[in-house]
Amino acid sequence: EQFWVRLMLVQDLGFAEAYMAGEVSVNNLVDFVRFYIYNRKAIDAASSSPVFSSLMYLANTRFGNSIMNAINNVSAHYDLGNEMFEIFLDSTMTYSCAIWNGPDDTLEAAQLRKLDMLIDKACVKSTDYVLDLGCGWGSLSMRAVERTGCRVLGITLSTEQKDIAEQRIAQAGMSDRIEIMLIDYRKLDPEMYCFDKIISIEMIEQVGYEYLPVYFEQCHKLLHPQHGIMAIQMIAMNEERYEDYKRSVDFINKHIFPGGHCPSISSAITAATTGSHGKLMVENVTNFPDHYARTLRVWRERFLNRFDEIQASTTPKNPQLLLQERNLA
C-alpha cells in the first residue's frame, strides 16, 4: 500500500524510495530504469500531483546552497570515506566524466585525457596562476603542474578530499606549486587573488540554480581582466526538460547530491552573461554524453566487483548507512 502511495505522489522518486525501503523489488534494476527512460514522455504525461511536487520542491529548498548549507551538502556526499572512492575510482582519483578513445581504453587513460583536454582548452602555461575550483582529490591540479609547471590553488569544501589531496601532492613533490584550501568559492577575496586561468570540473552542479549568476560573478572577479580564461566541465540537463527539472526534486538532488542542480547549457550561458555583466564570453561548447554513460558503466562495474570491500570500509564510519547488495545486473 505504501508503495502505491509513493508512486502516485512522486513517481520516479517514489519508486526509488520504495525500492530503498524494500517495499518493491525488480529482477533487473538496470533494465527497469532503461524502460523508464525510453518511456519517459508517456509516463510524464500522467505526472504526479503538481501541488505535491511544488511542496516537495519547497521542502527541498532547505538544502539550498548558502555557504553553511553548501558545506553540509558537500560533506554529505564526499566525506563518506576516502577508502570507498579509492576502491572504485582509478588511480588519479578523478570523479567526473572521462573522455574515451576506443573500446580498449582504460579508465585512468580516459581520465588523464579529460584533464589534458581542459588544461589545453584553458591554454595553461608555466607562468600561470590557476584556480582549480572544486579540486576534489587534486588530480587536475597535479596534472596541470606536471604538464606545465604552473602554480595552482585548489579549493574544496570536503575535509577528507583536502587531506588526501595534500598527501598526494606532497608524495609527488608538488607542494611548492600547489596549495589546497578548505574554503567556499564565494569567500575568495578578489582583492587578494587574481588568476590567469580557472578550471572547474563538475563543481557547478553543486552551486544551485539560484546561485548560478553568483558563481559566474565571482569567477569573473577572480579572473585576470585582460587574458583570463575559464574552462568548465559540467553535467548538463536536457533543454526540453529543464523548466520542469528546476522546479522539482529528483532522486539525485535529494539522496545523492543534496542541493545539487544540473544547469542546461543555455541557462549556464545566461547566468555567465548576467553574473559578469556581459564580460564573460563563451568561445566553445563541446557535448559528449556518450562518454559519461561509459564512465558510469565502468564505475558501476568496479563498485560491484569490490562491493564487499566498499561495505567494510564505509559502514563502520557511517553507521547510519545501510549498504545492501541487490540484483543490479
Residue 296 confidence (pLDDT): 96
Smallest Cα–Cα separation from 140: which of 171, 115, 175, 160?
115
pTM above threshold 0.75: yes
At position 96, the amino acid (one-letter code) is S
Q: Is residue 1 part of a domain?
A: no
In angstroms and rounded to an integer, the radius of gyration of the C-alpha atoms of the chain is 20
Count of CB atoms within 10 A of residue 219's CB? 24
Residue 21 confidence (pLDDT): 74
CB distance 130 to 150 below 8 Å: yes
Residue 257 confidence (pLDDT): 79
Q: Is residue 300 part of a domain?
A: no
Per-residue pLDDT of the chain (329 residues; tens, 9 = 90+): 565 555 555 667 777 777 777 777 778 878 877 877 777 776 666 555 555 455 455 555 555 666 656 555 555 555 567 888 999 999 999 999 999 999 999 999 999 999 999 999 999 999 999 999 999 999 999 999 999 999 999 999 999 999 999 999 999 999 999 999 999 999 999 999 999 999 999 999 999 999 999 999 999 999 999 999 999 999 999 999 899 888 888 888 887 778 889 999 999 999 999 999 999 999 999 999 999 999 999 999 999 999 888 888 776 666 555 555 444 44
Residue 244 confidence (pLDDT): 86
Number of domains in the chain: 1
Residue 326 confidence (pLDDT): 47
Question: Domain of 110?
Answer: 67-290
Q: Is residue 76 part of a domain?
A: yes
* CATH number, domain with residue 273: 3.40.50.150
Count of CB atoms within 10 A of residue 102's CB? 7
Q: Is residue 276 part of a domain?
A: yes
Residue 47 confidence (pLDDT): 53
- Could you give the CA distance from residue 257 to residue 236 in angstroms, rounded to a whole number? 15
Q: Is residue 111 part of a domain?
A: yes
Cell numbers describing residue 175: 607542494
122: left (phi over 0), alpha (psi -120 to 50) or beta: alpha
Q: Strands of 197-201's sheet, edge to edge?
A: 178-182, 151-156, 129-133, 197-201, 229-233
Count of CB atoms within 10 A of residue 249's CB? 20
The crossing angle, in degrees rounded to 10, of helices 139-148 and 159-171 is: 30
Four-point Cα dihedral 251, 205, 300, 305, nearest 10: -110
Residue 259 confidence (pLDDT): 80
Q: Is residue 19 part of a domain?
A: no
Q: Is residue 48 part of a domain?
A: no
Strand partners, 151: 129
* φ/ψ of residue 124, rounded to 5: -70, 135
Q: Is residue 81 part of a domain?
A: yes
Residue 248 confidence (pLDDT): 81
